[in-house]
Amino acid sequence: MNWDYLTWERILAVVIPLAVFLLTFLLGMVFRSLLFRRLAAWSAKTESKVDDVLVGTVRSPFVIWSAMLGLYIAVRVSHIPVQWAGLIQTALSVLGMASVVLVLANAFSRLVASYGDKMQAALPVTSLTQSIGRILIIGIGVLMILNRLGISIAPVLAALGVGGLAVALALQDTLANLFAGFYISIARQIKVGDYIMLESGQDGCVNDINWRTTKIRMLNNNMILIPNAKLIQSIVTNYSLPTKDLVVKIEAGVHYNSDLDHVERIAAEVGKEVMMESKSGVPEFTPSVRFHTFGDSQISFTTVLRCRDFTEQWIVKHEFIKRLHKRFAKEGIVIPYPIRAINTTQEGAAAAQLPRADIR
């Protein structure tokens, strides 16, 4: 080993910055551990989700920030050329700004997801709106980074304008779906959680609205992906508007010898029991019973009930039919089987008029 070349000064010139970097990084990790342990204990005691989101978002980037701080201090105590030190410090500042922008974008997405139910009245919470929010934050961050690097923003915006026109011409269908999805989200006529039926007959619950498609989950758990541009051009029945409460009509019939006033009272009582005791019913709703048809073997009537949601109607029907059948049996009210009456006198007279074959 050539000790004349590798002097102690040069060894120290390398060892000291490296030691400073490692020491700063380790101190940052210790501080991170202590800080976030306290913050986690504090956030667990609060009802707000904001502190939980912020703590969870900042925890991982803190490792990068510790390393960046260690590198910055190591550069300051080193003897590298001034121009290289300036480039490294500029790179660190740009990296720091980029990390802060990403942290803010992730925090925004998590806050929107956490407070989605409360924010629905002011801001529709979908993948599209979350993506737009992230893009706006990142876009502002990019402009700040360009300004930090001394790059003029005006030519960049002009280039983006010309390039955006070319992109718009090349991606007409994609942009049509994008703006259609944005319109669907803002118009609030179709929202995440609504139960809708398309004019093609397919129905399901709106699962998400992203930049290209609207996802609809069917009752059999299959997913329908319909382009946003086609959705706004379709005839859609929204069973969640103006409210999610839904009228449920149940058909039934009783024997002609039945006391219809008694039948009406019993059916209404059973309907009210279902509304009050079933989790799918609407307790404040008063059921109604309406007779409407003299059938071949019964007098038909309709009981009008109400359920909380489109998917709950089968539970309401299930409970009502079971209880009504049991109550009718207890009250002696007959639900007749389908009957076909045969007039034997008329049939016999017609048969007597027919010519008989000779019997030999």
Residue 275, pLDDT score: 94
Domain span at residue 234 reads 152-242
Q: Residue 360: is its pLDDT beyond 60?
A: no
Q: Say what the pTM is.
A: 0.59
Residue 60, pLDDT score: 80
Which of 126, 150, 174 finishes a domain? 150
Task: Looking at the structure, tell me whether residues 168 and 126 fall in a common domain.
Answer: no
> What is the DSSP secondary structure assignment for residue 310, as one 8-state letter?
G
Strand 203-209 with 195-198, pairing: antiparallel
pLDDT winner (highest mean) among 44-53, 111-120, 210-219: 210-219
Q: What percent of the chain has pLDDT over 90?
A: 28
Task: Looking at the structure, tell me whether residues 30 and 78 fall in a common domain.
Answer: yes
Lowest mean pLDDT among 66-75, 162-171, 216-225, 351-360: 351-360
Domain count, the chain: 3
What mean pLDDT comes out for the span 109-122?
62
Which of 104, 127, 150 finishes a domain? 150
**Structural domain contains residue 339:** no
Task: Looking at the structure, tell me whether residues 24 and 52 fall in a common domain.
Answer: yes
Q: Residue 278: is its pLDDT beyond 70?
A: yes
Residues 6+ apart with CB under 8 A from 15: none
Top pLDDT among 161 and 94 is at 94
Task: Looking at the structure, tell me whether residues 318 and 252 fall in a common domain.
Answer: yes
What mean pLDDT comes out for the span 192-198?
89
DSSP per-residue letters across 243-262: -S-EEEEEEEEE-TTS-HHH
Residue 7, pLDDT score: 66
Q: Which residue type occupies 314? A: W
Task: Looking at the structure, tell me whether residues 13 and 100 fall in a common domain.
Answer: yes
Residue 96, pLDDT score: 82
Task: Looking at the structure, tell me whether residues 67 and 174 fall in a common domain.
Answer: no
- 260-277 and 313-331 helices cross at what angle (nearest 10)? 140
Residue 135, pLDDT score: 79
Q: Residue 330: is its pLDDT beyond 90?
A: yes
Task: Looking at the structure, tell me whether residues 61 and 186 fall in a common domain.
Answer: no
Q: What is the pLDDT of residues 159-192, one digit of tens each?
A: 666 566 555 555 567 778 888 888 888 878 888 8
- Whether the CB-CB separation of 327 and 254 falls below 8 Å is answered with no
Task: Looking at the structure, tell me whether residues 261 and 167 fall in a common domain.
Answer: no
**Structural domain contains residue 346:** no
Task: Looking at the structure, tell me whether residues 45 and 57 fall in a common domain.
Answer: yes
Top pLDDT among 355 and 273 is at 273
Rounded to the nearest integer, the mean pLDDT of the chain is: 81
Residues 6+ apart with CB under 8 A from 244: 195, 308, 309, 310
Q: What is the pLDDT of residues 210-257, one digit of tens each?
A: 888 999 999 888 999 999 989 988 899 999 888 888 899 999 999 999
Task: Looking at the structure, tell me whether residues 195 and 209 fall in a common domain.
Answer: yes
Query: pLDDT band at 91, cuts 50/70/90?
Result: confident
Task: Looking at the structure, tell me whether residues 144 and 12 fall in a common domain.
Answer: yes
Task: Looking at the structure, tell me whether residues 219 and 196 fall in a common domain.
Answer: yes
